[in-house]
Structure 1
Amino acid sequence: MENLFDIELTMRLLGLDFVQNALLAAALLGLVAGALGPLIVMRRMAFAVHGTAELAFTGAAAALLLGLVFEGMAVEYGAIAGAVVAALLLGILGGKSSERDSVIGVVLAFGLGVGVLLLWLYPGRAHTQLGLLIGQVVSIDRSNLAVYAVSTVAVLLVLALVYRPLLFASADPVVAAARGVPVAWLTPLFAVLVGIATALGVQTVGMLLVLALLVTPAAAACRVTSSPTRAMVLAIIFAEVAVLGGIVLSLAPGVPISAFVTAISFAIYLVCRLVEYLRGRVRVEHATL
């Protein structure tokens, strides 16, 4: 326990290239997760994120098995390909809200089953296999950063172009469709954006805990503000604090960052719920005066 939070060791590790690469990749992921998160919460897509993560895991496992390693980038490409396929399936097959959960459950089970099989067939190290489940952010190098950077720019650019109609369609899809908003293609498009972000999160916090970045910070932000813009800004801040703080805290003990990321995210969520509760008490007290 004496080295659990060794500040001197942590400072030395922060000077290493692989740690700096991990921090840069995590910062990009936090930006994307925070930007998409409020819309995910508004559209009630938390379960869809989990289902997408399953096929991102399947794609990454397939990349490992096929040996498509080119400067360490094959896992990211496989994860993105799997997540995009999942997003398209969920966006197309789950168009009706009444059948969305069942479609997600079907895709989730399929992705997990195939991914487990592919991982079992992979002859490499067990540590590499485990990294897909709980994250392996310290393995990110400069070539991986290029994938993160390009993906981040692409997601944010598309989001900026469609944000207003997407926000309208997320808040009230029926009225938006009546007003001429192309809801039919905005839904799968947003699903693809979420899929790319989910794929990036698989290597950082792992398939099992990707919700900690894509949902929890946004859910916390939505507790303290009803403004979509402020919710996005807060979600980005919360996601950055969680993922960067998780990396820094995990350095000295040398454990996977996912435990710290989820703990920080959950703590932020609890604080925001407390703030919401206290605000409600104050409004009730003022109303009774």
Structure 2
Amino acid sequence: MDNLFDVELTMKLLSLDFVLGALLVAAILGLLAGVLGPLIVARNMAFSVHGTSELALTGGAAALLLGWEVGNGALAGAIVAALVLGLLSRRSSDYDSVIGVVLAFGLGMGVLMLWLYKGRASNKFGLLTGQIVGQDFASIALLTGCAVGVFVVLALLYRPLLFASVDADVARARGVPTTGLALVFAVLVGVATALGVRTVGSLLVLALMVTPAAAACRVTASPLRATLLAILFAEVSAVGGIVLSLAPGAPVSAFVTAISFLIYLVCWVISRVRRAAFA
């Protein structure tokens, strides 16, 4: 327990270049998760994020096996997952079952490829639970470029996307291309999910992509305030998780999930107290 909260050791580690790079990555991921999260919650896509992360794991595992850049493999796997989910689940009643099928297939193939990979075990473990030592210039450049692309597309489509997320039937009646928007948004979520796999890990990427937004939606119904709160909560979870993981050298995802869950509990209590006060 002495090393778990070793402030002096943490301060020394914070001066290292790879840690600063990891904090930059976490800040970008927090911004991505905070912007996309409320829309994910509004569209009931939390389960699809999990399914997409499994295909990102498969893509990353395939890249490891073939000696390619892991980030590129995870990104390709997540985009493929988003397209498959969008094309196979045209009806809302099919959505959960299609995600379950894709999730199981992705996880199975990912486990097989990790078993076939004979390299360092830390590379395998990092894909599952995240790591901060792999944030080199190439991965930061990839993350930054993808994040800018996501923000540009989201800025162009945000109003119709929000309309379709709040009430898809009315939006469709008004001529909004809800099917096309759903496919584009699935790809954006896939890209963001793949970027989170390297830091948070495929198993727990939900903690960053969904939990902060779910917490924000507990305390406000305003889309703008929910987005701002989700960004704040995601930044605290991502950056705080990395800082707390430094001294013990524990997986980042353990602390990211703990912080985001505590934030969610606080917001849940606030919402219950408000409801009781107005009952």
TM tier, shorter chain? over 0.9
What displacement does 1:5 show? 0.6
User: Hey, what's the Cα distance between the residues in 1 that align with 2:118 and 2:2?
Assistant: 37
Q: What percent of counterpart residues are identical? A: 68
What displacement does 1:282 show? 2.1
User: Hey, what's the Cα distance between the residues in 2 that align with 1:162 and 1:95?
Assistant: 20
Paired amino acid for 1:163: Y
Instruction: Give structure 2 stretches of 5+ with no counterpart.
Output: none
SS state at 2:133 partner: helix
Cα distance per residue 1:157-197 (max 9 Å; x no partner): 11111000001111111111110001110011000000001
Cα distance per residue 1:194-230 (max 9 Å; x no partner): 0001001111110100000000000000000000111
CA RMSD after TM alignment: 0.7
User: Hey, what's the Cα distance between the residues in 2 that align with 1:189 and 1:91?
Assistant: 9
Match of 2:71 in 1: 76
Paired amino acid for 2:45: M
Match of 1:86 in 2: 81
Match of 1:178 in 2: 173
Question: What does residue range 244-283 of structure 1 map to in structure 2 within 5 Å?
Answer: 244-283=239-278
Question: What does residue range 205-284 of structure 1 map to in structure 2 within 5 Å?
Answer: 205-284=200-279
Match of 2:107 in 1: 112
What displacement does 1:277 show? 1.2
SS state at 1:209 partner: coil
Matched, 1:187 2:182: yes
Paired amino acid for 2:38: P
TM-score (norm 1): 0.95
User: Hey, what's the Cα distance between the residues in 1 that align with 2:218 and 2:155?
Assistant: 24
What displacement does 1:138 show? 2.4
User: Hey, what's the Cα distance between the residues in 1 that align with 2:109 and 2:252?
Assistant: 26
Moved over 2 A (4+): none
Instruction: Give structure 1 stretches of 5+ with no counterpart.
Output: 69-73, 285-289
User: Hey, what's the Cα distance between the residues in 1 that align with 2:129 and 2:255?
Assistant: 12
What displacement does 1:29 show? 0.5
User: Hey, what's the Cα distance between the residues in 2 that align with 1:227 and 1:105?
Assistant: 31
Paired amino acid for 2:274: R
Matched, 1:8 2:12: no
What displacement does 1:279 show? 1.3
TM-score (norm 2): 0.99
Instruction: Tell me the number of residue pairs that the alignment of Structure 1 and Structure 2 aligns.
Output: 279
Paired amino acid for 1:154: G
